[in-house]
Amino acid sequence: MNSRRRFLKNSASLLGLLAAGCGGKSRSGGNGAELRVGMDLSYPPFEMQDKAGNPDGVGVRLAEALAAHLGRPLKIMPMEFSGLIPALKTGNIDLILSSMTATEERAKSIDFSQPYAFTGLALLVRKDSAIQSIDDLKKSARTVTAKASTTGQTWAITNLPDAKCVVFEDQSACVLEVTQGRADAFIYDQLSIYKYAGENPETTRGLLKPFVEESWALGIAKGNDGLRAQVNGFIDRFRKEDGFSKLGERYLKDEKKFLEDSGIPFILR
Protein backbone atom coordinates (compact mmCIF):
# COMPACT_ATOMS: atom_id res chain seq x y z
CA MET A 1 0.00 0.00 0.00
CA ASN A 2 2.82 2.37 0.90
CA SER A 3 4.55 1.53 -2.37
CA ARG A 4 1.35 2.33 -4.28
CA ARG A 5 1.05 5.71 -2.52
CA ARG A 6 4.68 6.52 -3.33
CA PHE A 7 4.11 5.55 -6.97
CA LEU A 8 1.01 7.78 -7.26
CA LYS A 9 2.78 10.66 -5.52
CA ASN A 10 5.83 10.40 -7.78
CA SER A 11 3.62 10.13 -10.88
CA ALA A 12 1.69 13.24 -9.87
CA SER A 13 4.93 15.14 -9.30
CA LEU A 14 6.25 14.10 -12.70
CA LEU A 15 3.01 15.14 -14.44
CA GLY A 16 3.17 18.47 -12.64
CA LEU A 17 6.70 19.09 -13.87
CA LEU A 18 5.74 18.18 -17.42
CA ALA A 19 2.74 20.46 -17.31
CA ALA A 20 4.86 23.31 -15.99
CA GLY A 21 7.42 22.71 -18.71
CA CYS A 22 4.78 22.77 -21.43
CA GLY A 23 2.62 25.59 -20.19
CA GLY A 24 4.91 27.77 -18.13
CA LYS A 25 6.70 30.89 -19.41
CA SER A 26 10.45 30.48 -19.43
CA ARG A 27 12.76 33.47 -19.38
CA SER A 28 13.60 32.92 -23.04
CA GLY A 29 9.91 32.84 -23.86
CA GLY A 30 9.09 29.63 -25.65
CA ASN A 31 6.75 29.46 -28.63
CA GLY A 32 3.28 30.62 -27.66
CA ALA A 33 4.42 32.60 -24.62
CA GLU A 34 3.37 36.23 -24.58
CA LEU A 35 6.05 38.56 -25.95
CA ARG A 36 6.13 41.61 -23.65
CA VAL A 37 7.75 44.55 -25.40
CA GLY A 38 8.53 47.75 -23.51
CA MET A 39 8.05 51.07 -25.34
CA ASP A 40 7.91 54.77 -24.66
CA LEU A 41 4.92 55.79 -26.81
CA SER A 42 5.80 59.49 -26.86
CA TYR A 43 8.20 59.36 -29.80
CA PRO A 44 6.34 59.78 -33.12
CA PRO A 45 6.52 58.46 -35.75
CA PHE A 46 8.49 55.57 -34.26
CA GLU A 47 6.55 54.83 -31.07
CA MET A 48 3.29 56.69 -30.53
CA GLN A 49 -0.50 56.38 -30.18
CA ASP A 50 -3.06 56.83 -32.93
CA LYS A 51 -6.20 58.97 -32.57
CA ALA A 52 -7.99 56.11 -30.83
CA GLY A 53 -5.17 55.72 -28.30
CA ASN A 54 -3.79 52.51 -29.80
CA PRO A 55 -0.01 51.95 -30.13
CA ASP A 56 1.23 52.96 -33.57
CA GLY A 57 4.41 53.78 -35.43
CA VAL A 58 7.52 52.18 -36.88
CA GLY A 59 8.48 50.41 -33.67
CA VAL A 60 4.98 49.05 -33.14
CA ARG A 61 4.81 47.59 -36.64
CA LEU A 62 8.27 46.13 -36.15
CA ALA A 63 7.21 44.53 -32.86
CA GLU A 64 4.13 43.05 -34.55
CA ALA A 65 6.25 41.55 -37.32
CA LEU A 66 8.72 40.14 -34.76
CA ALA A 67 5.96 38.55 -32.68
CA ALA A 68 4.45 36.99 -35.80
CA HIS A 69 7.89 35.68 -36.81
CA LEU A 70 8.29 34.09 -33.36
CA GLY A 71 4.73 32.75 -33.31
CA ARG A 72 3.97 34.55 -30.05
CA PRO A 73 1.13 36.92 -29.05
CA LEU A 74 2.35 40.49 -28.63
CA LYS A 75 1.81 42.64 -25.54
CA ILE A 76 3.11 46.20 -25.75
CA MET A 77 4.02 47.60 -22.33
CA PRO A 78 3.97 51.43 -22.41
CA MET A 79 6.29 53.18 -19.96
CA GLU A 80 8.61 56.14 -19.67
CA PHE A 81 11.93 55.75 -21.45
CA SER A 82 13.88 55.93 -18.20
CA GLY A 83 11.96 52.90 -16.88
CA LEU A 84 12.68 50.56 -19.79
CA ILE A 85 16.03 49.12 -18.70
CA PRO A 86 14.95 48.60 -15.07
CA ALA A 87 11.81 46.80 -16.32
CA LEU A 88 13.92 44.53 -18.54
CA LYS A 89 16.41 43.74 -15.77
CA THR A 90 13.64 42.80 -13.33
CA GLY A 91 11.91 40.55 -15.86
CA ASN A 92 8.76 42.66 -16.24
CA ILE A 93 9.30 42.83 -20.00
CA ASP A 94 11.04 40.52 -22.48
CA LEU A 95 12.38 43.13 -24.89
CA ILE A 96 12.92 46.85 -25.32
CA LEU A 97 11.92 48.20 -28.73
CA SER A 98 11.86 51.96 -28.30
CA SER A 99 14.37 53.70 -30.60
CA MET A 100 17.06 52.93 -28.03
CA THR A 101 20.68 53.66 -28.90
CA ALA A 102 22.99 50.73 -28.27
CA THR A 103 25.69 52.33 -26.14
CA GLU A 104 28.66 50.80 -24.35
CA GLU A 105 27.30 52.03 -21.02
CA ARG A 106 23.89 50.40 -21.53
CA ALA A 107 25.56 47.21 -22.77
CA LYS A 108 27.07 46.79 -19.32
CA SER A 109 23.62 45.95 -17.93
CA ILE A 110 21.65 44.60 -20.91
CA ASP A 111 22.36 42.90 -24.23
CA PHE A 112 21.45 44.30 -27.65
CA SER A 113 20.36 42.84 -30.94
CA GLN A 114 22.09 43.83 -34.14
CA PRO A 115 21.19 47.40 -35.22
CA TYR A 116 18.01 48.08 -37.17
CA ALA A 117 18.42 51.86 -37.57
CA PHE A 118 21.33 54.26 -37.95
CA THR A 119 21.10 57.88 -36.85
CA GLY A 120 22.96 60.46 -34.80
CA LEU A 121 22.72 63.42 -32.48
CA ALA A 122 21.73 66.79 -33.95
CA LEU A 123 20.78 70.23 -32.63
CA LEU A 124 17.64 72.34 -32.48
CA VAL A 125 18.55 76.02 -31.97
CA ARG A 126 16.79 79.37 -32.08
CA LYS A 127 16.30 80.72 -35.58
CA ASP A 128 18.19 83.90 -34.69
CA SER A 129 20.97 82.06 -32.84
CA ALA A 130 24.61 82.43 -33.87
CA ILE A 131 25.17 78.71 -33.20
CA GLN A 132 26.16 76.88 -36.38
CA SER A 133 27.66 73.66 -35.02
CA ILE A 134 28.30 71.69 -31.88
CA ASP A 135 31.65 73.50 -31.55
CA ASP A 136 29.81 76.74 -30.87
CA LEU A 137 28.26 75.17 -27.78
CA LYS A 138 31.75 74.51 -26.41
CA LYS A 139 33.04 78.06 -26.72
CA SER A 140 31.35 79.50 -23.66
CA ALA A 141 28.92 78.56 -20.93
CA ARG A 142 25.62 77.64 -22.52
CA THR A 143 22.29 76.18 -21.49
CA VAL A 144 21.31 73.00 -23.30
CA THR A 145 18.33 70.74 -22.85
CA ALA A 146 17.89 67.00 -23.32
CA LYS A 147 15.40 64.23 -22.71
CA ALA A 148 16.04 62.17 -19.57
CA SER A 149 18.05 58.95 -19.95
CA THR A 150 18.92 59.60 -23.61
CA THR A 151 22.32 59.73 -25.25
CA GLY A 152 21.76 63.46 -25.73
CA GLN A 153 21.79 63.92 -21.96
CA THR A 154 24.83 61.66 -21.54
CA TRP A 155 26.76 63.44 -24.29
CA ALA A 156 25.99 66.88 -22.87
CA ILE A 157 27.11 65.93 -19.36
CA THR A 158 30.31 64.33 -20.63
CA ASN A 159 31.32 66.80 -23.34
CA LEU A 160 29.87 70.13 -22.21
CA PRO A 161 31.07 70.38 -18.60
CA ASP A 162 30.63 74.17 -18.53
CA ALA A 163 27.08 74.08 -19.86
CA LYS A 164 23.93 73.97 -17.79
CA CYS A 165 21.94 70.89 -18.83
CA VAL A 166 18.19 71.02 -18.24
CA VAL A 167 16.54 67.59 -18.45
CA PHE A 168 12.90 66.64 -19.02
CA GLU A 169 11.02 63.35 -19.38
CA ASP A 170 9.00 64.81 -22.29
CA GLN A 171 10.88 66.00 -25.37
CA SER A 172 8.19 68.60 -26.15
CA ALA A 173 9.28 70.40 -22.98
CA CYS A 174 12.83 70.47 -24.37
CA VAL A 175 11.57 72.04 -27.60
CA LEU A 176 9.70 74.66 -25.58
CA GLU A 177 12.92 75.60 -23.77
CA VAL A 178 14.47 76.49 -27.14
CA THR A 179 11.45 78.21 -28.69
CA GLN A 180 11.08 80.43 -25.62
CA GLY A 181 14.78 81.23 -25.46
CA ARG A 182 15.57 79.53 -22.15
CA ALA A 183 17.99 77.06 -23.76
CA ASP A 184 20.56 77.58 -26.50
CA ALA A 185 20.08 74.10 -27.97
CA PHE A 186 18.14 70.87 -27.69
CA ILE A 187 20.33 67.80 -28.24
CA TYR A 188 18.37 64.90 -29.72
CA ASP A 189 18.27 62.53 -32.65
CA GLN A 190 18.38 63.75 -36.22
CA LEU A 191 14.85 62.94 -37.38
CA SER A 192 13.23 64.41 -34.29
CA ILE A 193 15.18 67.63 -34.74
CA TYR A 194 14.01 67.74 -38.37
CA LYS A 195 10.43 67.29 -37.20
CA TYR A 196 10.53 69.93 -34.45
CA ALA A 197 12.26 72.49 -36.68
CA GLY A 198 9.49 71.95 -39.23
CA GLU A 199 6.82 72.44 -36.58
CA ASN A 200 8.41 75.67 -35.30
CA PRO A 201 9.80 77.40 -38.41
CA GLU A 202 9.30 80.92 -37.04
CA THR A 203 11.42 80.38 -33.94
CA THR A 204 13.80 77.45 -34.56
CA ARG A 205 16.07 75.79 -37.09
CA GLY A 206 17.67 72.36 -37.14
CA LEU A 207 21.37 71.59 -37.50
CA LEU A 208 20.77 68.15 -38.94
CA LYS A 209 24.20 66.82 -39.81
CA PRO A 210 24.91 64.42 -36.92
CA PHE A 211 27.89 65.31 -34.75
CA VAL A 212 27.73 61.84 -33.17
CA GLU A 213 26.70 58.73 -35.10
CA GLU A 214 24.51 56.17 -33.35
CA SER A 215 22.59 52.98 -34.01
CA TRP A 216 19.34 51.68 -32.52
CA ALA A 217 18.80 48.09 -31.43
CA LEU A 218 16.43 45.96 -29.37
CA GLY A 219 17.31 45.55 -25.71
CA ILE A 220 17.43 41.99 -24.35
CA ALA A 221 18.13 40.73 -20.84
CA LYS A 222 21.73 39.71 -20.15
CA GLY A 223 22.36 36.07 -20.96
CA ASN A 224 19.15 35.52 -22.94
CA ASP A 225 21.14 34.36 -25.95
CA GLY A 226 18.33 32.25 -27.39
CA LEU A 227 15.98 35.21 -27.73
CA ARG A 228 18.77 37.43 -29.04
CA ALA A 229 19.54 34.91 -31.79
CA GLN A 230 15.85 34.79 -32.72
CA VAL A 231 15.64 38.59 -32.86
CA ASN A 232 18.78 38.83 -34.99
CA GLY A 233 17.40 36.22 -37.36
CA PHE A 234 14.20 38.22 -37.68
CA ILE A 235 16.07 41.48 -38.40
CA ASP A 236 18.10 39.77 -41.15
CA ARG A 237 14.96 38.39 -42.74
CA PHE A 238 13.00 41.65 -42.40
CA ARG A 239 15.85 43.57 -44.04
CA LYS A 240 16.09 41.12 -46.95
CA GLU A 241 12.33 41.44 -47.51
CA ASP A 242 12.65 45.28 -47.67
CA GLY A 243 10.58 45.59 -44.51
CA PHE A 244 12.55 48.60 -43.26
CA SER A 245 12.22 50.40 -46.57
CA LYS A 246 8.45 49.83 -46.54
CA LEU A 247 8.15 51.20 -43.00
CA GLY A 248 10.11 54.25 -44.09
CA GLU A 249 7.74 54.87 -46.98
CA ARG A 250 4.73 54.46 -44.68
CA TYR A 251 5.81 56.63 -41.76
CA LEU A 252 8.79 58.73 -42.88
CA LYS A 253 8.31 59.49 -46.57
CA ASP A 254 9.07 63.23 -46.35
CA GLU A 255 11.99 62.72 -43.99
CA LYS A 256 13.42 60.01 -46.22
CA LYS A 257 13.31 62.27 -49.27
CA PHE A 258 14.79 65.24 -47.39
CA LEU A 259 17.72 63.25 -45.99
CA GLU A 260 18.50 61.56 -49.29
CA ASP A 261 18.32 64.90 -51.14
CA SER A 262 20.72 66.29 -48.53
CA GLY A 263 23.17 63.45 -49.09
CA ILE A 264 22.47 61.96 -45.65
CA PRO A 265 21.71 58.18 -45.58
CA PHE A 266 18.20 57.27 -44.43
CA ILE A 267 17.91 55.97 -40.88
CA LEU A 268 16.16 52.62 -41.61
CA ARG A 269 18.43 50.39 -43.67
pLDDT tens string, the chain, 269 residues long: the values are: 444 444 334 434 433 333 333 333 334 445 579 999 999 999 999 999 999 999 999 999 999 999 999 999 999 999 999 999 999 999 999 999 999 999 999 999 999 999 999 989 999 999 999 999 999 998 878 999 999 999 999 999 999 999 999 999 999 999 999 999 999 999 999 989 999 999 999 999 999 888 999 999 999 999 999 999 999 999 999 999 999 999 999 999 998 888 888 887 888 98
Separation CA 14–CA 162 (nearest Å)? 65
Separation CA 191–CA 122 (nearest Å)? 9
- For the chain, list the domains and their CATH numbers: 27-116+217-261 (3.40.190.10), 124-214 (3.40.190.10)
Helices (H) and strands (E) in the chain, counts: 10, 12
On whether the CB atoms of residues 146 and 124 are closer than 8 A, the answer is: no
Q: What is the DSSP letter of 82?
A: G
